[in-house]
Each structure stands twice: as C-alpha cells, then as structure tokens.
Amino acid sequence: MNYRRVVRISPLTKVLALLTAGALVLAGCAAERGETTVAPACAVIADGGPATDEYRTDMTAVRTSSYSVVTANPLATRSACEVLRDGGTAADALVTAQAVLGLVEPQSSGIGGGGFLLYYDAVTGAVQAYDGREAAPAAATENYLRWVSDTDRSEPRPDARASGRSIGVPGIVRLLHEVHVEHGGAGWRELFDPAVRMADDGFAISPRLAGAIAAAAPQLAADPQAAEYFLDADGTAKTAGTRLVNPAYAKTLGAIAADPQSFYTGPIADDIVAAAADPSGDRTPGRLTVEDLSSYTVKRREPLCGQYRKWEVCGMPPPSSGGIGVAATLGVLEHFPMADHRPTEVDLNGGRPTVMGVHLIAEAERLAYADRDRYVADTDFVALPGDSPDTLLGSDYLTGRAALISPEHTMGTATPGDFGAPAVPAAPVPEHGTSQVSIVDGAGNAASLTTTVESSFGSFHMVDGFILNNQLTDFSAEPVGPDGVPIANRVQPGKRPRSTMAPTLVFDHAPSGPPGTRGPLYAVLGSPGGSTIIQFIVKTLVGMLDWGLDPQQAASMVDFGAANTPETNVGGEHPVIDTSDDGDHDPLVQGLRALGHQVNLAPQSSGLSVVARDGADLVGGADPRREGVAMGDVE
C-alpha cells in the first residue's frame, strides 16, 4: 500500500493540550488517500493530553523510518518512544509504556491487572503468545460471584464487581518480566524511571481520566485510598488539569524495578491480599491469598495464525476468544468480494461505510460470536470442539457458515454450529478499562499488548498507588445453565476468565520455502472495547487489507459490527453519521434498516493502536475516540 507523504505543521488543538516547538501535529484536509505526518523523533509533549475527549477529526497517519509506538496516552507513547530511540527493543518499550499507563490512565490498565501479548522476533520469525490473564484464587467456588457463602446466599456487596470477589491474581507484571528476560535489551530497572519520575513530580489529569473519575466517584469513595487520591476532600471528583502526584506508586515501581518478584511476594503481595479482603464500605471480602500470588505463572499459548487472502493474520488463542472470533469472521468474509464494498467519500476520517460492506461484516460476526459464545473458554478447563481451534476455523465449516448469509436480509441472530454439549453463553459485561500498546522497534521486532483492569477503575480497590482489577466478573456468575449443563465460562479455582481481547499481528504472504516460512511483518494492532473488540479489529483489518485505507483512516473509520444479537452497532460519535431523529436521515442507517437490522447508534468505545509497514517506512495510527498518539523517529 502506498500513502502520500505530506510534511506539515498543522493545528492539534483536538489532539494534545500543549505542544512544545517542533512537536508533532496530526491534522489535515480531507483526502481520498490518507496523508501522513513525518514525526519528529519522540516529539516532546507537555503533559495534559488532548484538549477534549470527543472524537478528534482529521487525524493523519504518522510516518517514521525505523521504529514506531502507539499507546492510548501521549505521555506513555513518548516514554516508550524514548526507549526505542535509545536502542531498546519492543519488549523494553512495553515495560515503560505499561508503567506509565498505570499512572496516567489508571482507569484502563495497570500493574493490578492482566493482559495478552503477541511478540514477533524478527531474527527467528517466531510469534509468541503470552497469557498474563488474571486467575481466580484457589479458594474460589463456582458460586463465588453468585452469593457470599453456601450459608449466606445473598449477593456479594455492594455488587460482585465492586466487592473483593471480582479481584483476580494480577498477571501483567510477571508477563512483562518474562518477555523482558527473553527479548529485552535495556536494564529492567531503568525502564521504570520515566513512570517513577512522573509519579513523584506529578502529571495533569487528562479530560478522559477526569470523565472516568466523575463517572465512578460514588464507587471510588468507598475505598479509602482511591477516595483520597481521585477525589477532593468534599468527595467531588478531581477535574481535568488537576496535578496528581502518586508517591505510593513510585515506591511500588521502585520495588518492582529492584526485584520483579517483589510484586508477588513480600509487602506488596501482603497489601494486595489485605485490600481484596478489606470489608470497609460494606464490601464483601475476596479470598485471595499470598499463595495465589506467589504461584501465578504466565502461560505460553500457541498463537492462532491463518490466511486471509494474501496475508497471514495471527491472534491470541483461548482463554481469549478474540483471536478465534476475528479469524472466524475473516474466514467467512473471504467468500465475499469485500473490495467491491469500499467506503465512499473516503477522507482522513475513513469515509462513509457502504450498506453492503457493513451488512456482510455484521453477519459474519454474528456467526463468529455464536460459536464463540457457546464454545470458547479457558481451554485448560474446557476443551474446544475437537480439542482444537481448527474445528471452528476449518475451511469447509466456514464455507458452510458463509452460505448462511443473505445479501437481502439480516439473520438477526445466528445459530452456533453443532459440536455436541454446549457451553451456555453468558451476557457480555460492559468494559471501559482496557488499553492497547502496539510497537515495532528498530530491529523489526514487534509487540501487540492488550492490557486491562477490566471495567473502568476495575474493582474500585486501590492499594500501594494502583488499582486492582475486577477481571473475575468476566466469568459467568451462574455455574449451570437452564438446561442443567455446566457453563464453560463458570468460576473454577485457578481458572482464567474468557476474554475478547485480540492483539493482532499481520504478515505479508509468505515466500516459497519450507513449511512455516513467514512473510515480512505488515501490521501490529489491537484495541480495548470489551465484547466488541472483535468488531473493532475486523473493521480495521478489512479497512486496511480490502479497502486500502491507511492505519489512521482504518482506526478513524466508523466503528460498526454486531455480536450475536439483533442489534447492529454503528458508532454515532463519528462525524459522518447523522444521529438526528434516531438516524432517520442517515443513508447507512436507513440502508441497514431496510435489510432488517436493528441499528444501535450509541457511541463506540474503541481505542485502536495500529502500526503498518509501507515499504521501508512505518505508518502509525491512533484511535480518535481516545487520547492516543503515534510516535517514532524522523526519516
């Protein structure tokens, strides 16, 4: 793919609150092809983030020559970029990015959470999948989220999410250390310096963080540490621009920098256990123990790689359902000429999606979600049909699934394939507490990390300067379905809840060679978004691979798609969508309704971070719905 090279200094009032002289800016006029901004090396950014948390129009892709990083916050992007500038690897930059994100975007991710990572080693050509998903404590029962105890069958208070029952064993610190041991180049200790300095010196609350604090203020007030940090003395939420200092977080990071095992043993582990068991605010305690933390392991999974047209697309296997969901959707779409359904009026914001393009993708996703909902869970506890992803992703099977799609009418809801005893689906959990880091380093190594505390501010429990996750609410609270069949995604001791996170790597078609030969790296991407992550990844992949959009256009394009429900999502936050009178005047909405779709125009919560290779260059794009930016080196 070719992108026009445009060197420009243009306004960024909607992207960053403050810029120093010579800093990167991301704006431009509408263009049929995406424009690119040549990035100064790790442009210096005054903290404060974007001036608004609204959709940022007319962002341009950022072109760099040898390394690129995209995160959900400018301060994290800058810090990780400086690691790459100084010769660090993608693994090194991941550590720094996560440490800073846990400070400046604590509602979304942090050391009290978990994540999934795909890592590409440019020397060996290997793709490795790291599972740092949180795990249920050994004392968890199948009714752990359902009621307080076998003798007290009342629900956990104030609810499962805000109680100690939602807190799983955090995995992200051990994941980062493991990938650093294997792929890092810089010293472990020094990678925490930017976050430690920022925590000690302070940073300005961004508009997005301020909005999250305001929305969660009543719940944060129930936790003494969270209330003191995020709220004013009168209980009101701290506002955008307020300077926060977090010496407790700096101290915690200092301990981890000195000894990465200190998070899982010793005083920090003791504090985590005590926080999960804290009954203050009438919260039902969790049953996490220091043994749960000390015994936690990062699991190596076999990456889920398959062909889509001329590309190889690699995703995360279970317990994430994202990789299977994306692969199944693409496998169905391969039977349709998606290039014929390119958006019209293509501009920097991705253009106007066509009715048939959205229809086909939404229908393919319904089929994928139907199987995902029924069969996918932690495969260490519940086997996939045929004990392999190949059953759900087989060519003949997906050909049959594609035949179920009508160009004339939506199927509404799809029936899952028949592979025997089902796992009863659980209702999706709303999620606004996840982040994405996408990196390509100067040696060509790449990392796609989707990292999370689950919901915004996780469990609302704060300890030692960081938020603890509520990841266990991704389990089904009900252990058995109405038909008496055990639910695959039920709580079990040590089990990891199903996720929809979908870190993704894309490679060009492999040249001729022995089996397993891999083509050059093409793209690195991922997104937050809870159960809709699959939809965000698919629209971005189709946008780039079938429709020729650049990474920024593909991320900026209207978010659309469907789970296995009658509703089809069309992101009403996008400027091309006319939401007046419930979309009655919007041609896309009306066209979908004519095909029987029930259109949901609610704003979508994607946070895409995308890096793609264009010849010798890299091109980065960040989601305009959040605060992220792309950075790298000058050409």
The catalytic residue positions are: 434
Question: What DSSP string describes 16-73?
Answer: -SEE-TT---------SS-EEEEPPBT--EESS--S-SS--TT--EEEESS-EEEESS
Segment holding 140, helix H or strand E: none
- Please state, as a whole number, how many other Cβ atoms lie within 10 Å of the Cβ of residue 432: 19
Amino acid 555 reads: A
How far apart (Å, rounded) are the C-alpha atoms in residues 212 and 38? 33
Answer whether the bond into residue 303 is a cis peptide, omega within 30°.
no
Phi-psi region of 202 (alpha: psi -120 to 50; beta: other; left: phi over 0): left
Strand segments, DSSP code E, in 344-497 are: 433-440, 446-454, 462-463, 466-467
Closest CA to 455 of 477, 475, 431, 474: 431
Closest CA to 392 of 411, 413, 372: 372
Phi-psi region of 460 (alpha: psi -120 to 50; beta: other; left: phi over 0): left
Amino acid 108 reads: S
The pairing of beta strand 462-463 with beta strand 466-467: antiparallel
How far apart (Å, rounded) are the C-alpha atoms in residues 175 and 172? 5
What token pair was written down for 404?
């179920």
Answer whether the bond into residue 587 is a cis peptide, omega within 30°.
no
